[in-house]
A and B are shown apart, each in its own frame.
Chain A
Amino acid sequence: MRKVFASTAGLTDRPTHYCPGCTHGIIHRMVGEVIEDLGIRERTVGIAPVGCSVLAYEYFNCDMFEASHGRAPAVATGAKRARPDIIVFSYQGDGDLASIGMGEIIHTANRGEKVTVIFVNNAIYGMTGGQLAPTTMPGQYSTTTPRGRDVRDCGYPVKMAEIIAQLTTPAFVARGSTHTPREIIATKALIKKAFEYQVAGTCFSLVEVLSICPTNWGLSVRESEKWLEREMLPYYPLGVKKRPEDFAEVSADAKH
């Protein structure tokens, strides 16, 4: 009999704790497969965030840190600077990266740390029970915006990929999604590209992955996928936002 499907060496055999229909498992698997495909598992150190994926250190089959809320990029900086030969990635949600950890992600990207960030954006706080995220859509219900996100109070959702992409420092920045098999395949290619840039020692890389949260959105999986496509995609356009190859040398030199 021919084996057509197997688990990836990049993940442990442990069953995840994620809710039914959650796409964290798919994103874990994409990252795990990329780590396996690139043959870097034995020199990779991952960093789990605080949020739904807090237990990611149990699932990735490589050395893992657990970071405090939002600080994974700083931990990544310390690890990578101390051991430039290892491959360092952080796996963070929208509350972790775009709210409490905004300072760390911006400055880690801006310093051009040779690390890879997987940013999962499901427009809601999952683990604490469906509160407002910086990426929650206008009008979207959350337990702390019971009348829907009022942009006059909360501002508009934060577009992290675009924010990181507009920094001058060379980087690879892209956004993918998980709402269709086609997008999953495309997103895995982006994640692979992101890791490849790190393996080559080229630049900082970040892939934002749009994800669904049926539990806290209060929708079925099918409805969630439709909602993501209808509400999130127009606001969070997919694709590569920035490539290090596009970088034009800035000739500024203020030495005096």
Chain B
Amino acid sequence: MAKVLMKGNEAIGEAAIRAGCVHFFGYPITPQSEVPEYLAKRLPEVGGKFVQAESEVAASNMIYGAAGVGVRVLTTSSSPGISLMSEALSYIAACELPVVVVNVMRSGPGLGGILPAQSDYLHATKGTAHGDFKMIVLAPASVQEAVNLVILAFELAEKYLNPVMVIGDGMIGQMMEPVEFPVEGVGKPLDPGNWALTGCKGRGKRIINSLYLDPEICYRHNLKLTAKYEEIRKAEQRFDTYNTDGPYDLLVTAFGMTSRIARTAIDELAQEGQRVALFRPITLNPFPYEALRAAASKAKRVLDLEMNMGQMLQDVRMALGPDAAIDFFGTAGGVVPSPDQCREKMLESISKTGSRPKAKGARRNP
């Protein structure tokens, strides 16, 4: 299949269709509005349903209803809208329904701004809403990867009967890059199996419910969910590395688009003989702690780069322990760190290790 140049938001919408999802419920919010706009046009062409809900609160409950009757369903939003969807995500996780939610992050807190940010990391991975539940959280770093991960998100949602969130920043939604789509209907049709509410013809009634007034039963339900999250933790960690083959002094940790900016700086520094590697978690939950530990063991120091005030940093610290030498650089509010800024921060970190450039090359900025 030929490559097409496509905006991230539109590619996300098309990816859902290719994954066999033809039901979308959502609400406009910058910078993700191209997803509903694209699907409003496209879904009727493939026999799908598009509903613009009256709010994110309603949209998230609509996906609860649609998933509950056993169809593949998508909603997308951006940070403040995701906050409004959080309640429903708790119910969906509790009821073990497969849904995919995409968060094209903008800056916060509050109304924040509409420019790119990564400040919903903790919300997505640790504290989405009330109760003990976890989503699988996937972070793409390119439009192509956004497509691949949306498709994977549906697979994982249905494999584990759990909400999956694909989390990118405003840049990934707004930028165009070449993408290649798989043919339509990848993966098997959704099997509503023994849980979907399809009418009780020929069987006993089914209930989709998260109310457990008996504490013992509610406790058992939590244990069951926890066992599932443990299974996910063992099986689904994904990450990417760059420049880790040879020796390196500094390991940079970054997710999503920030990792791309970091790579430019890493490439520039490599020409100056500086050895910097990159570790990029693709699954923010489950976070690849062990793999990060292994990658960091070869470095003298770690620099965590994020478009927030230090959220993934908590996981990096958890992976590497209290004695690890970890620096942090973050921007927020919609300010994107430039490759040069990242380069400066990398040099600062390297200077703390006492390492000198290992290859010949003109250092532009001693």
Chain A interface residues toward B at CB < 8 A: 12, 41-45, 47, 54-55, 57-58, 60-68, 71, 74-83, 86, 103-104, 106-107, 111
Contact = CB atoms under 8 A, between A and B. Distances in A.
A71 B211 contact: no
B23 A43 contact: no
Interface residues of B, number: 38
Contacts of B198: 63, 83, 86
A67 B51 CA distance: 19
Contact of A66 (B54, B200, B207): B207
Interface string B50-71: 0101110111011111111111
Contact of B73 (A12, A62, A82): A82
Contacts of B205: 12, 60-64
24 contacts: A42-B202, A43-B199, A44-B199, A45-B197, A63-B197, A63-B199, A63-B205, A63-B206, A65-B207, A71-B57, A74-B59, A75-B62, A75-B65, A78-B61, A78-B63, A78-B67, A79-B65, A82-B66, A86-B69, A86-B197, A103-B57, A103-B58, A104-B58, A106-B54
B93 to A, nearest CB: 13
A43 B63 CA distance: 20
A83 B190 CA distance: 14
Contacts of A111: 51
Given A42-B201, A81-B66, A107-B53, 13 more contacts: A42-B199, A45-B199, A62-B200, A63-B200, A64-B205, A65-B208, A78-B23, A78-B25, A78-B73, A79-B65, A82-B69, A83-B69, A103-B57
A211 B67 CA distance: 33
A79 B211 CA distance: 20
A76 B207 contact: no
Nearest to A80: B65
A80 B208 CA distance: 16
A76 B64 CA distance: 9
Contacts of B208: 64-66
A65 B66 CA distance: 11
A189 B88 CA distance: 35
B62 A74 contact: yes
Contacts of A41: 200
Contacts of B61: 67-68, 71, 74-75, 78, 104
Interface in B169-228: 197-202, 205-211
B51 A81 contact: yes
B57 A86 contact: no
A12 B200 CA distance: 13
Contacts of B201: 42-43
B327 interface: no
B49 interface: yes
Given A44-B199, A68-B88, A74-B61, A57 B23 contact: no
A15 to B, nearest CB: 16
A80 B197 CA distance: 11
B50 to A, nearest CB: 9
A43 B59 CA distance: 24
Contacts of B315: none
Contacts of B66: 78-79, 81-82
B91 interface: yes
B268 interface: no
Contacts of A57: 207, 209
B74 to A, nearest CB: 12
A106 B54 CA distance: 9
A58 B208 CA distance: 11
A54 B207 CA distance: 13
A122 B238 CA distance: 53
Contacts of B62: 74-75, 77-78, 81
Interface in B247-267: none
B197 A79 contact: yes
